[in-house]
Structure 1
């Protein structure tokens, strides 16, 4: 993705006010957490998830973030929420993800553990992108912990699918993360929150601005190289 603009996803939105904050700040995508077995203040009901997805304006991608028991449950949830993309956490064989992708009218993103980014190669031809995140003991993301960005960058070189970097990102470190990994997009939840499940508008704006500035600076640095 050398030279391309890094996109930004603000995840874990629970209300229309925070959705508007993310959109006004210039976020490319918004994440809505629904039907996950882990305890998180960012989870919303199916009805609220559908309302938030519908409220996302054109050219802003609404991403349903979920951790289903099986592909059938994911298909049913996507049909009810109608997101632009679905981000799956949990363990699935490639065949299940390929089946899911063929049955939903949404892009399919698969979350891989930052401790094993090379595992993404098994799924490269059956998903539309990967989220590399620091997983908790239950396999969910949103831990707020960073990981080895250099290792993630190396793994990304072997992937044809776009890579979305997550895990412990915040306004103070996201420019360095973009410069190191050169991801297709970055994904933030707790790093821009005032409290659990409620976004801090100043932090959201700062995060999006620093991603944009970091991408611009990186491109300028390349053009300046002899």
Structure 2
């Protein structure tokens, strides 16, 4: 049985939302920089760096980007996050080169509709984020996908799997119990409007995600 599932709040754009996510107990915070899609969650590198600098110790920070792999190390150095989450059409060789050049934990996003693609990155990335992506390879679509297929994928891989795509405070506990992922990721599912988080929704999401497996191990032991 999986342990406590971690929660990442992504697409943070301002200091108040960062503070709300930290206060809610989020394990990781995501900052979207340099993406070629129209999203209210994108911020410039300077804003991201300022927000990241104020995140307290023991909360992980993640640069979420679709920049060309060769540009990511310099961008990461400017922003100063603990991890880099790579979206888009980046092959395993390019990702391996990036891993060698960038001093950060590396997360690769894979399309939930093509779970077999995850295996190509399993030996290169530090974690895989399974998301409902659009034609550009970007996430944040607000669409759920087949959690059963993602559960099977997570069970088959040694690399940690992060579940994303259409998660909300209302469905995240069910998603966690179905997939038992290493972590879950939310952006639009806790917003009151584009790019602005709802403090109550963030708090509920984190609590429901991280507490979804409470008591499950004990119940399994009793039934055995």
Residues 74-153 of structure 1 mapped to structure 2, 5 A cutoff: 74-153=72-151
- Between the aligned partners of 1:218 and 1:38, the Cα distance in structure 2 is 40
1:66-94 CA distance string (max 9 Å, x none): 001x2211112111111100000011111
Aligned to 2:185, the other structure's residue is in SS state strand
Query: Aligned ranges for residues 1-226 of structure 1 at < 5 Å?
Result: 2-68=1-67, 70-226=68-224
Question: Aligned partners of 1:183, 1:197: CA distance in 2, in Å?
Answer: 26
CA distance in 2, matches of 1:110, 1:4: 22
The 2-side partners of 1:25 and 1:188 are apart by 13
Q: TM-score, normalised by structure 1?
A: 0.96
Structure 1: any 5+ residue segments left out of the alignment? none
What secondary structure sits across from 2:11 in the alignment? coil
Q: CA deviation at 1:113?
A: 0.2
- For 1:216, what is the secondary structure of its paired residue? coil
**Shift >3 Å, 4+ stretches:** none
Q: Point out the more displaced range, 149-158 or 168-177.
A: 149-158
**In angstroms, what is the RMSD of aligned CA positions?**
1.0
* 1: CA distance, partners of 2:42 / 2:139: 12
TM-score normalised by the chain length of structure 2: 0.97
Q: 1:144 to 1:170 in 2, by over 3 A?
A: same
Aligned length: 224
Could you tell me how far apart the structure 1 residues matched to 2:66 and 2:12 are?
16
- CA distance, structure 2, for counterparts of residue 213 and residue 92 of structure 1: 34
